[in-house]
């Protein structure tokens, strides 16, 4: 079940020849679609048991055992200030394990993340109006506009995963 | 050298050393049984491979010697020659020489001249007597002694495999944990055959664990041998003259223990040159030789490995350290005055401490000697300091030979398990509220005639910012209280927990970024069920308690 | 589709070098075997277009393995690898169905030339 989440998306290649495309893993945060480039995703899994970690900010939900590696799981909705801090994770959630050069971190999301292939040209630089949400804006790569006029906010994990950025840990 | 050449070189070295070891083994079989066909086949094959690989790497001389030996083993196999008489010492000399050559390649040194050996090998292959006693075959004078370089090259081999060894050790650790559970279950069920099997599994996995730990041992020399260069560079940058003496390179230690103290040792050695030694002029004025002596030595003491960094410099200025500790706010003037010199010297290893009047490029910047203390704490090691004014200072790192599986006590707090390494646990107590007393806002338990401060573990784990811990209040205690007394640096501290779960062996995994900055946790361990369990760091908990106590 | 090659050699160093050369040239290395037993098993499992076979192996001689391979996977072309001085074995190998041989130490050009012509079917 878990593995099927990462099934390659078929039939999404735009007509008109070999256009550069980008494959995203798309998930919802507070009702909006967010995407992460698939190269930055290590795996998508049903969130295993989360061990709460004292001494960490509330948006860090704790640590999980991901095939023998211990990684932190964060709630981006809280991190981005989209919901009040300190909510427990629901009994059933998914974790998108994303990686950058330095480490792997889990993004807890409520609904099943889905793969999607879009045209690279569809990703536009983040518009100014998005600066209302300071935390989120600095992690944006851009906004992808789909043919049906919906949008996906594309996050750049390499920015998100700067240790000092994401965590202002005590000590 | 590009990456691929480097890879070929490493593979060549790893295989050549493996072949060389194998040859030695098979040759000793041949010594006992000179016509042993499997041994001859293997010698022939290994020589053949060494020859091919050496030629491909451009080491023609190794290829030549291996080719000659391959020919001889072929002749013996075909019973045209016998492994007897003058041929035997020539073959042994040939093998020794191959070893020397392989090590010379590993150390990037010129290969010794093998002309005499080749001549002798050719002669014995033809059934003639060697030109001179085989034992007199000279080796190049600048070839390093066998023991020195062997360790260095073995380390290359181990280095390639360390990730795999880590995995193996982790798996063994988890096996040991499951084994313990199985043994407990077998006892509970009480089935004799199951119990016998579980006990057998116990012994086997114990052997396995020690075997894996043994494989991970490397000579301390792999690290120590890097220091002559470090000392030369630091001395040059600081206008010092220093001579480094190494000893104990053969002492065996777990490769990862060595890795963990690498940075700390580097700081100690740099510090030894930049603070531990005077300038040549100062030394002369003090009646010492201009060249300062630095000694880096390793030795085994019971289950520990001791690595000592010693200099013959001015010694620690205890009063300067005492003053600085007060200036830095590490202690109060009143307290500092009462500390003995050992306690004062310990400040050198506190974060941010530096007594260097002059900030130099080498040792005045970045992390200080506190990295030494941190590495030692996480390894469960110790630091010994001795210093005599005018004569020198010695720092000794006391390290475990191996860090595989640690004993730990599992405790429960708010429904979550936490592991406390047995190294730091003292005793466990169940006390009624009236058995505690309160003094100066602290809850005290009375253990063996000593008043031990007690703090709810919950308060320590959730202490925010720099606020003091809540003042102790006995009326908050209801029913029997579970107290875990921990011990760090002869300081005892009682931790109130919800309950004790059990004692068990754990394998500690380090916390990965970005959570590795939280020093209260020494790492995590996976319990038999796959459940994640945080490992408490007693030194950090103790420091936190001291800093925040009400 | 890329031609698929199985490398049989008991030296990891040699296998790595051959694998790099062949992979760089666009061949697909479908397996590496370190002894005769593995060679036969992997040849059966991977059905390669070509096998490079070292003449001296730990469990069998290369010749026994060659005979086994010819019987078991006759479609796979076999190129022997040997060091100088094994000419006798090599000629026996050719008689037993090996197409060509590479002499160690080998140059990249020579390896590719021999493998290429063996795969095309012309003798080297």
The CA-CA-CA angle for residues B216, B218, B220, to 5°, reads 140
Tell me which chain C residues have a C-beta less than 8 angstroms from the C-beta of B22: none
Assess C58–B contact: CB distance below 8 Å, yes or no.
Answer: yes
**Residue A10, domain member (yes or no):** no
- pLDDT exceeds cutoff 80 at B154: no
In C, minimum Cα distance to B42 occurs at: C58
The CATH number linked to B59 is 1.20.120.160
The CATH number linked to C81 is 3.40.50.2300
Q: In total, how many domains does chain A have?
A: 1
User: What mean pLDDT, rounded, does chain B reach?
Assistant: 81
- Segment B213-234 mean pLDDT: 81
**Residue C115, domain member (yes or no):** yes
Are residues B260 and B393 part of one domain?
A: yes
Per-residue exposure over A13-41, b if at least 16 CB sit within 10 Å of its own CB, e if not: eeeeeeeebbbbbbbebeeebbbbbbebb
3-state secondary structure of B370: helix
State what percent of residues in chain B have pLDDT above 70: 86
Between residues B407 and A64, the one the model is more confident about: A64
**Residue A8, domain member (yes or no):** no
Confidence of residue B399 (pLDDT cuts 50, 70, 90): confident
- pLDDT exceeds cutoff 50 at A4: no
What B170-173 contacts at long range (C-beta under 8 Å, 24+ apart), as own/partner pairs, is B170/A68, B170/B507, B170/B509, B172/B205, B172/B208, B172/B209, B172/B212, B172/B404, B172/B405, B173/B209, B173/B404, B173/B405, B173/B505, B173/B506, B173/B507
**Residue B294, domain member (yes or no):** yes
Residue A135, domain extent:
19-167
Give the Cβ contact number of residue B24 at 10 Å: 14
Q: In total, how many domains does chain B have?
A: 4
State what percent of residues in chain A have pLDDT above 90: 15
Predicted local distance difference test score (pLDDT) of residue B132:
63
**Residue B134, domain member (yes or no):** no
Best interface-test mutation with A: which of B173, B514, B548 has the largest number of A CBs within 10 A?
Answer: B514
Predicted local distance difference test score (pLDDT) of residue B455:
93
- pLDDT exceeds cutoff 80 at B414: yes
Q: Do C56 and B45 touch (CB under 8 A)?
A: yes
Name the residue with tokens 């998100």. Answer: A160
Predicted local distance difference test score (pLDDT) of residue A14:
42
The CATH number linked to A29 is 2.40.50.180
Are residues B88 and B192 part of one domain?
A: no
What are the DSSP calls for B140-185, one per residue?
A: -TTSPPHHHHHHHHHHHHHHHHHHHHHHHHHHHHHHHHHHHHHHHH
Host H or E run for residue B542: helix B538-548
Out of B141-150, B273-282, B383-392, least confident range: B141-150
Out of B34-43, B299-308, B465-474, least confident range: B465-474
Residue B254, domain extent:
218-400
Distance from CA of B165 to the nearest CA of C (A): 19
Name the residue among B416, B512, B518 with its Cβ closest to that of A70: B512
The CATH number linked to B302 is 3.30.565.10
Backbone angles phi, psi at B496, to 5 degrees: -85, 125
Q: Do C56 and B48 touch (CB under 8 A)?
A: yes
Predicted local distance difference test score (pLDDT) of residue B129:
85
Tell me which chain A residues have a C-beta less than 8 angstroms from the C-beta of B534: 51, 53, 63
Are residues B173 and B93 part of one domain?
A: no
Confidence of residue B366 (pLDDT cuts 50, 70, 90): very low
**Residue A12, domain member (yes or no):** no
Are residues B84 and B21 part of one domain?
A: yes
Tell me which chain C residues have a C-beta less than 8 angstroms from the C-beta of B12: 13
Are residues B237 and B175 part of one domain?
A: no
What is the C-alpha to C-alpha distance for residues B535 and A6, in angstroms, rounded to an integer? 34
**Residue C124, domain member (yes or no):** no
Predicted local distance difference test score (pLDDT) of residue B101:
93
The CATH number linked to B522 is 2.40.50.180
Predicted local distance difference test score (pLDDT) of residue A138:
66
Assess B356–A contact: CB distance below 8 Å, yes or no.
Answer: no
Nearest to B460 by CA among B550, B330, B548: B548
In tens, the pLDDT along B492-520 reads 899 999 999 887 767 677 777 778 777 78
- pLDDT exceeds cutoff 90 at C99: no
In B, minimum Cα distance to A72 occurs at: B515
In tens, the pLDDT along B101-132 reads 998 998 888 888 888 899 999 999 988 888 86
Q: Do C14 and B56 touch (CB under 8 A)?
A: yes
**Residue C63, domain member (yes or no):** yes
Confidence of residue B333 (pLDDT cuts 50, 70, 90): confident
Are residues B413 and B389 part of one domain?
A: no
**Residue C110, domain member (yes or no):** yes
**Residue B419, domain member (yes or no):** yes
Name the residue among C17, C57, C106 with its Cβ closest to that of B8: C17
Predicted local distance difference test score (pLDDT) of residue C84:
62
**Relative orientation angle of helices C12-24 and B3-32, to the nearest 10 degrees:** 150
Q: Are B55 and B67 in contact (CB under 8 A)?
A: no
Best interface-test mutation with B: which of C85, C105, C107 has the largest number of B CBs within 10 A?
Answer: C105
Q: Which two tokens stand for residue B460?
A: 């320590």
Out of A29-33, B71-75, B134-138, least confident range: B134-138
Backbone angles phi, psi at C64, to 5 degrees: -60, -40
**Residue A105, domain member (yes or no):** yes
What is the C-alpha to C-alpha distance for residues C56 and C81, in angstroms, rounded to an integer? 9
Predicted local distance difference test score (pLDDT) of residue A2:
37
Predicted local distance difference test score (pLDDT) of residue A9:
40
Q: Are B492 and B450 in contact (CB under 8 A)?
A: yes
Q: Which of A20-24, B293-297, B335-339, B400-404 has the highest average model confidence (pLDDT)?
A: B293-297
**Residue C29, domain member (yes or no):** yes
Q: Is B486 exposed, middle or buried (0-12, 13-18, 19+ CB in 10 A)?
A: buried
Predicted local distance difference test score (pLDDT) of residue A15:
45
Are residues B78 and B55 part of one domain?
A: yes
Residue C79, domain extent:
4-119
- pLDDT exceeds cutoff 70 at B204: yes
What is the C-alpha to C-alpha distance for residues C108 and A132, in angstroms, rounded to an integer? 61
In A, minimum Cα distance to B520 occurs at: A55
In tens, the pLDDT along C1-57 reads 678 999 999 888 888 889 888 988 888 888 888 888 889 988 988 889 999 998 888
Predicted local distance difference test score (pLDDT) of residue B134:
44
In tens, the pLDDT along A97-140 reads 998 656 788 999 998 898 888 888 888 876 655 555 555 666 77
For chain A, the residues whose C-beta falls within 8 A of a C-beta of chain B are: 48-49, 51-56, 60, 63-65, 68-72, 102-105, 163, 166-167, 169-171
In B, minimum Cα distance to A57 occurs at: B464
Confidence of residue B355 (pLDDT cuts 50, 70, 90): very low
Tell me which chain A residues have a C-beta less than 8 angstroms from the C-beta of B514: 72, 102-103, 105, 163, 166-167, 169
Are residues B517 and B450 part of one domain?
A: yes
Out of A107-116, B39-48, B323-332, B493-502, least confident range: B323-332
Confidence of residue B47 (pLDDT cuts 50, 70, 90): very high
In tens, the pLDDT along B9-32 reads 888 888 898 888 889 888 888 888
Give the Cβ contact number of residue C2 at 10 Å: 12
Predicted local distance difference test score (pLDDT) of residue A11:
39
**Relative orientation angle of helices B115-125 and B87-106, to the nearest 10 degrees:** 140
């Amino acid at each position: 079940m878990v593995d099927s989440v990462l099934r390659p998306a078929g039939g999404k290649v735009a007509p008109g020849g070999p256009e550069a495309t980008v494959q995203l893993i798309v998930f919802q945060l507070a009702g909006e679609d967010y995407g992460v480039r698939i190269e930055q995703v290590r795996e998508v899994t049903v969130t295993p048991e989360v061990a709460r970690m004292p001494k960490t900010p509330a948006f860090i939900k704790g640590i999980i055992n991901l095939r023998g590696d211990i990684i932190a799981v964060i709630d981006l909705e809280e991190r981005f200030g989209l919901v009040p801090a300190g909510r427990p994770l629901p009994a059933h959630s998914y974790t998108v394990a994303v990686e950058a050069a330095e480490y792997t971190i889990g993004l807890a999301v409520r609904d099943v993340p889905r793969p999607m292939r879009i045209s690279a040209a569809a990703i536009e630089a983040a518009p100014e109006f998005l600066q209302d949400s300071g935390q989120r804006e600095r992690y944006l790569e851009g906004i992808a506009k789909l043919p049906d006029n919906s949008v996906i906010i594309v996050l750049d994990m390499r920015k998100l995963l700067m240790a000092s950025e994401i965590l202002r840990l005590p000590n | 050298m590009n990456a691929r050449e480097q890879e070929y070189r490493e593979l060549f070295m790893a295989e050549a050393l493996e072949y060389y070891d194998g040859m030695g083994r098979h040759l000793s079989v041949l010594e006992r049984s000179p016509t042993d066909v499997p041994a001859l086949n293997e010698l022939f094959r290994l020589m053949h491979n060494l020859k091919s690989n050496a030629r491909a790497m451009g080491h023609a001389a190794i290829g030549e010697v291996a080719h000659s030996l391959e020919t001889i083993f072929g002749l013996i196999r075909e019973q045209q020659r016998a492994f007897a008489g003058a041929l035997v010492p020539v073959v042994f000399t040939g093998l020794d020489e191959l070893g020397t050559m392989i090590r010379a390649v590993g150390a990037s040194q010129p290969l010794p001249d093998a002309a005499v050996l080749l001549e002798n090998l050719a002669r014995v292959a033809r059934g003639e007597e060697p030109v001179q006693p085989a034992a007199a075959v000279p080796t190049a004078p600048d070839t390093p002694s066998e023991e020195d370089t062997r360790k260095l090259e073995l380390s290359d081999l181990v280095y390639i495999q360390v990730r795999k060894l880590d995995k193996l050790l982790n798996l063994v650790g988890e096996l040991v944990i499951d084994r313990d559970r199985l043994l407990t279950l077998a006892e509970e069920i009480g089935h004799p055959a199951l119990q016998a099997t579980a006990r057998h599994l116990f012994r086997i996995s114990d052997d396995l664990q020690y075997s894996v730990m043994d494989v991970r041992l490397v000579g301390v020399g792999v690290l120590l041998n890097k220091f002559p260069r470090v000392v030369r560079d630091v001395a040059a940058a600081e206008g010092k003259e220093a001579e480094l003496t190494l000893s104990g390179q053969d002492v065996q230690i777990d490769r990862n223990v060595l890795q963990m103290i690498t940075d700390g040792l580097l700081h100690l050695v740099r510090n030894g040159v930049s603070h531990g030694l005077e300038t040549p002029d100062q030394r002369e004025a003090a009646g010492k030789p201009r060249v300062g002596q630095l000694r880096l030595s390793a030795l085994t003491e019971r289950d520990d490995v001791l690595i000592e960094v010693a200099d013959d410099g001015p010694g620690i200025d205890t009063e300067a350290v005492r003053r600085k500790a007060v200036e830095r706010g590490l202690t109060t003037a009143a307290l500092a005055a009462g500390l003995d010199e050992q306690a004062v010297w310990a400040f050198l290893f506190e974060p941010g401490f530096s007594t260097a009047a002059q900030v130099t490029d080498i040792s005045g910047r970045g992390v200080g000697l506190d990295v030494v203390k941190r590495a030692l704490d996480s390894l469960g090691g110790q630091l010994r300091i001795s210093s005599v004014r005018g004569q020198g200072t010695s720092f000794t790192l006391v390290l475990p030979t191996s860090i595989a599986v640690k004993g730990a006590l599992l405790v429960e707090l708010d429904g979550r398990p936490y592991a406390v390494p047995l190294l730091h646990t003292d005793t466990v107590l169940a006390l009624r509220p009236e058995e505690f007393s309160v003094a100066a806002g602290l809850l005290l338990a009375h253990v063996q005639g000593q008043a031990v401060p007690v703090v709810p573990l919950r308060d320590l784990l959730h202490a925010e910012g720099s606020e003091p811990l809540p003042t102790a209040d006995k009326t908050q205690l209801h029913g029997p209280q579970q107290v875990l007394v921990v011990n760090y640096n002869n300081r005892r501290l009682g931790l109130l927990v919800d309950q004790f779960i059990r004692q068990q062996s754990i394998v500690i995994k380090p916390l990965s970024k970005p959570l590795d900055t939280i020093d209260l946790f020494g790492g995590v361990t996976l319990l038999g069920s796959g459940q994640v369990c945080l490992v408490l760091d007693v030194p950090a908990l103790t420091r936190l308690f001291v800093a925040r106590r009400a | 589709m890329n031609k698929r090659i199985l490398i049989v050699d008991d030296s990891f160093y040699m296998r790595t070098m051959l694998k790099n050369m062949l992979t760089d040239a666009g061949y697909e290395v479908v397996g590496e075997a370190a002894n005769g037993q593995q060679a036969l098993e992997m040849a059966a499992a991977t059905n390669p277009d070509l096998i490079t076979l070292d003449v001296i192996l730990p469990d069998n001689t290369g010749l026994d393995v060659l005979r086994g391979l010819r019987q078991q996977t006759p479609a796979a072309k076999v190129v022997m690898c040997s060091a100088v001085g094994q000419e006798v074995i090599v000629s026996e190998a050719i008689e037993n169905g090996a197409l060509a041989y590479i002499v160690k130490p080998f140059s990249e050009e020579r390896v590719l030339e021999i493998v290429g012509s063996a795969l095309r079917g012309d003798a080297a």
